[in-house]
Structure 1
Amino acid sequence: MLRYRSALKVWGSRKYSVLLPEFKLKCGLEIHTQLCTKNKLFSLSTNDAFAAADKPNYHASYFDVSLPGSQPKLNYEAILFATKLAVALNCQVSPVSQFDRKHYFYGDQPLGYQITQHFAPFAKNGYLELSKDLDGIDQEHRKIEIMQLQIEQDTGKSIYRDNEKLSLIDLNRSNVPLIEMVTHPQFTDWKEVRAFIKKYQALLRSLGISTGDLETGAMRVDVNVSVNDNARVELKNLPNTSSILKAIQFEYDRHVHIIKEGNQHKLLAQTETRSWNGYSTARLRGKETSIDYRYMPDPEIPVVKVSQELISTVAQSIPALPDAILRKLISQPFNLSLKDAKILAFASNGHGELYSQAELLPFYIKTFENYQEKAGKRVETKLPTSWIIHELLGNINKLSLPFSDVIKVLTPTSFSEFLILMTEGKISRPSAKLLLFHILKDLQQRQDKVPHQSIDFQSLIKEYGLNELKNVDQEELDELCSSIIKEVDNPALIEAIKTGQKRNSIKFLVGQGMRLSQGRIKPQLFEKTFKKLLRVDW
């Protein structure tokens, strides 16, 4: 037993396990997704439980806390969101679906049952396609089939304080609308699992029905794992993608070890549920069967009828989906790398809710189009991408500025003009970085008093004296470069530059010159001057 646990500890510490041909992995996913409707599923309570984390039971009405005599009232916005997801996942929406009661009692579910869809789920028989070029899987194409989508209510949240021996209940999350999506057990390696989760998140964000964030619990993933078609194990308490993959890898290795030791009978027992603690899985309980929950149709909620006309209308209103967006961005005229395309296309509100895809992607496309039109033949296609992703978003994250405030003054038109100034050489890149940070810092200090007007970059360049110097006095430049060389406290470095052993180190000297000149002198001019003064022959 000790040797067995040691082996598991070693396996759990490995970054990646190895799939063995004679041991076939089979996985299925159950993903619960909180919908970002205005109100909860069966009450008029506002659906912002995450925003009220510091106010327990603040967003909870009579039905949410199961007050005797209170009755559910269906929120039809949840039906609309479910229809959008079903259409995007190529599912067959059921003309008639119903809500059922799933009986069990926990402190965070005071009704004594959960309202879900068991007998007649909202949609069935869909699929999501993965590809090698966009999703990084080994096969060229992979179609993962969706068994069903069902609408259900979320439970409350139990908060344990071991030091005080208290178990507290927060019902803010109670009755938040969920969609449970169940796949067929078709995943045969963890690359496919990771790709599916990422694409599913992107789909939710593209449709605008959920943030899809694992870290906040807006999306929660359970995994069913089996090896060589033995009894499956359900893995729960998986807080992020990394934990999901490590738990699958650990469980695969555990099953392989049991089979190799000749203890295969242990995997033929009743299906069990296991949790993940960051290092290994541990048994929680034997898996309940349907009869344990005593499902019954909910007599207080009428059946849901969805017409074909509604489905067709929703289908026509759905925006471009993840694959279409990515293929557009990596093609002409944008020519983005896949990594940059995913940043722009699938931005998450998880960044402190600073920006989202709905804001960022249109801003980029409009900025690019404006810049391309004004730059003409001088267009640098990578310039908008670099300055939006690295400089603009980098500063926004650093200063914790909401993107919605930034675009009140940094419109696509004004930001494209800012890029044109760099292309035309009217401001250097280093000076432009300083100017952009100054503008965003000023917005941060204004807080709620953000003016609804665009920035006049040319006026600011003149005001701060940031325009690039066209006529540089060579004697003054020689003197500046000489002083920089003298102040370098490393004679060996200067000698290595002279001999060509460390040619790239001349960039250190150029950087000092750019800093002292506030970026107003071209780096090429500095490099030429340093080479002249050091008499390099390379």
Structure 2
Amino acid sequence: MSKPALKIGLEIHTQLLTNNKLFSLSKNSTSNLSQRPNSAVSFFDVSLPGTQPTLNPECLLQGLKLATSLNCKINKISSFDRKHYFYGDQPLGYQITQHYRPFATNGSIKLLKRHYDKLSRDLTIRIQQLQLEQDTGRSIYKTTDGNISQIDFNRANIPLVELVTLPDFQNIEEVRAFLQFFTKLIKDLKICTGELETGSVRVDVNVSVEGHQRVEIKNLPTTSAIVNAIRYEENRQREILLNSKFNDKLINNSIETRGWDGKKTIHLRSKESAVDYRYVPDMELPLIKLNSDSIISNFNSILPKSFAESLDELMDSNNFSLSLRDAKVLLNNLEMLDFFKKCWELCGLPYKKKIINWLAHELVGSLTKSELHFNSNTIKVESFVDLIENVENGKITKGNGKLLLLHLVNNIPDQNRQILDLANEFGMLVETTDSKEIENIVKQVILDNDKVVKEIQDKKKVKKINFLIGQCMRATQGKIQPKEFEKYFIKLLHL
């Protein structure tokens, strides 16, 4: 008998990168977590009597970018509502949101198996709605027992877009893939930093094993917390269903809200219904009226290419023919992607396929050694391509090529010189050496490393031949290509 099906839905709150807050002229402090508490606050943010909200159109613009990218229906008329609840960081006594008429509904995105290593199927995730709403203030607890708390209202009234999916996820890997897609999307659209750890993206998860009521898990600060909480909650519900065969009172028929303590989900409260929040239209804010057709066509003409389209372009065998891993490395660093494409245009046809290895592995490795990060000024395209071509055409060994690359990223003026001139100055050019001399070097290395040679011959550890080749390279200061030594090792060791 098959296991009861797992269904997962997500509610994602995204802080928007706007200049001002949602309903006031206060500066939006989303990207400045070190800002002094309560230094970016207006009278409206702390709910002083007599203040009224005024919609910041930039927030709506950012939300519409996201809605268009998620193939949502842009509603011609949307409105704001008051969601009533009391908490110290919400001084109004209600949150302004869009319960009845959100600005966008009925979206969808496709996640394709070829774009994600661990997906077992192509899937479509349906987006129920996108709505604009206020963020709350931030409670800061000064004692371990929580008796003393302070409130920072810098975060109050920061614009949020809440995204609600339908329960279309069937396993953890599908959730992980969607989160990768979504955080990449909002970064590319430049509407959010996309960082879960700083709270700019906050995720609540709805989990239900068939036969068990839906459980909402709140306050999940990282992708690993989301994954572990879903895994724990799935197992918890399956165990309840299994034991309920013997005691049907074990099943809780009410929808529950649970938290995550790092190890397990814990009961917080019974889930509130819409009635509990006493939603009413906010009469202080006018209706939003939009020409949805023109919005979608205008945004489609200016929005960046989708992640899926970009991946397909980079992986296309008739184009760049990159692996999924290398394509994602470039798409996660748009400066590096631009650099790669410039190198591709300049590089000779026989060497184009070598660019990605030199860029994503050798250059990044050199930068790591030098405690540097890649940017558009790291190395000149011309110098980088010159290096690749002269290593790949055999004029410089790969080992010396790596050393030259390390030198170039730390000595920017030398990037204006020809690579062969630089290699010649450092004595790094490949030398034409008599075959007898090469054979003698190999014989000497064999004599000096009899233990390694015995392992290669007796245990067939052929890969250890690379160690012997390395000894030869060291003896010749990298001036002879490794393949010259390799053929003599194969001959003399009868491999």
Note the C-alpha offset of 1:93: 0.5
Contact conserved, 1:425 with 1:468, CA < 8 A, in 2? no
Say if 1:530 and 1:92 are closer, same or farther in 2 by CA, change over 3 A: same
Are 2:260 and 1:276 equivalent residues in the alignment?
A: yes
Pick the aligned partner of 1:420 from 389, 402, 408: 389
Q: Say what the alpha-carbon RMSD is for the aligned residues.
A: 3.1
Q: Which amino acid aligns with 1:369?
A: E
Give the structure 1 partner of residue 340 of structure 2. 364
With 20-29 and 63-72 compared, the bigger mean Cα shift is at 63-72
Distance in 2, Cα, partners of 1:69 & 1:401: 53
Note the C-alpha offset of 1:421: 2.6
Contact conserved, 2:17 with 2:28, CA < 8 A, in 1? yes
Pick the aligned partner of 1:493 from 440, 448, 452: 452
Give the structure 1 partner of residue 461 of structure 2. 502
Distance in 2, Cα, partners of 1:246 & 1:74: 38
Distance in 2, Cα, partners of 1:230 & 1:516: 70
Mapping of 1:122-521 within 5 angstroms? Answer: 122-135=103-116, 140-162=121-143, 166-262=148-244, 263-307=247-291, 308-331=293-316, 332-345=318-331, 347=332, 356-357=333-334, 359-371=335-347, 375-376=348-349, 378-381=350-353, 383-396=354-367, 399=370, 401-403=372-374, 406-441=375-410, 455-456=416-417, 458=419, 461-462=422-423, 465=426, 467-472=428-433, 491-497=450-456, 501-515=460-474, 517-521=476-480
Distance in 1, Cα, partners of 2:43 & 2:363: 45
Note the C-alpha offset of 1:435: 2.6
Say if 1:438 and 1:215 are closer, same or farther in 2 by CA, change over 3 A: farther
Q: Which runs of 5+ in 1 are unaligned?
A: 1-19, 348-355, 444-450
Are 2:98 and 1:117 equivalent residues in the alignment?
A: yes
Distance in 2, Cα, partners of 1:461 & 1:22: 66
Contact conserved, 1:126 with 1:146, CA < 8 A, in 2? yes
Say if 1:460 and 1:266 are closer, same or farther in 2 by CA, change over 3 A: farther
Return the TM-score normalized by structure 2: 0.88
Q: Which runs of 5+ in 2 are unaligned?
A: none
- Number of paired residues? 490
Note the C-alpha offset of 1:366: 2.4
Say if 1:438 and 1:228 are closer, same or farther in 2 by CA, change over 3 A: same
Say if 1:213 and 1:461 are closer, same or farther in 2 by CA, change over 3 A: same
Note the C-alpha offset of 1:264: 4.4
Give the structure 2 partner of residue 536 of structure 1. 493
Are 2:483 and 1:524 equivalent residues in the alignment?
A: yes
Note the C-alpha offset of 1:528: 4.3
Say if 1:503 and 1:312 are closer, same or farther in 2 by CA, change over 3 A: closer
Contact conserved, 2:432 with 2:480, CA < 8 A, in 1? no
Q: Which amino acid aligns with 2:212?
A: N
Distance in 2, Cα, partners of 1:396 & 1:177: 38
With 38-47 and 453-462 compared, the bigger mean Cα shift is at 453-462
With 49-58 and 203-212 compared, the bigger mean Cα shift is at 49-58
Q: Which amino acid aligns with 1:214?
A: L
Where 2:220 maps in the other structure, the secondary structure is coil
Return the TM-score normalized by structure 1: 0.81
Give the structure 2 partner of residue 89 of structure 1. 70
Distance in 2, Cα, partners of 1:131 & 1:462: 46
Note the C-alpha offset of 1:474: 6.4
Identity %: 43
Q: Which amino acid aligns with 1:254?
A: R
Note the C-alpha offset of 1:320: 1.1
With 66-75 and 110-119 compared, the bigger mean Cα shift is at 66-75
Contact conserved, 1:131 with 1:142, CA < 8 A, in 2? yes
Contact conserved, 2:355 with 2:388, CA < 8 A, in 1? yes
Contact conserved, 1:409 with 1:454, CA < 8 A, in 2? no
